[in-house]
Amino acid sequence: MVSMVFRALGVWFLFVPAAILNGVLRDKVLIVVFGQALALPLSGVILSILVFLITVIFVPYLGGSAAWHFWLIGCIWLILTVAFEFVFSHFVMGKTWVEIVQVFNVAQGNLMIVVLIATLISPFFAARLRGLIS
Tens digit of each residue's pLDDT (9 = 90 or more) over 17-50: 999 999 999 999 999 999 989 999 999 999 999 9
Q: How far apart are CA 107 and CA 75, in angstroms?
A: 25
- Once rounded to an integer, what is the mean pLDDT over residues 63-76? 95
Residue type, 109: G
Tens digit of each residue's pLDDT (9 = 90 or more) over 79-110: 999 999 999 999 998 999 998 998 888 988 88
Q: Nearest 5°: phi and psi at 131?
A: 75, 20
pTM of the model: 0.92
Q: How far apart are CA 43 and CA 34, in angstroms?
A: 11
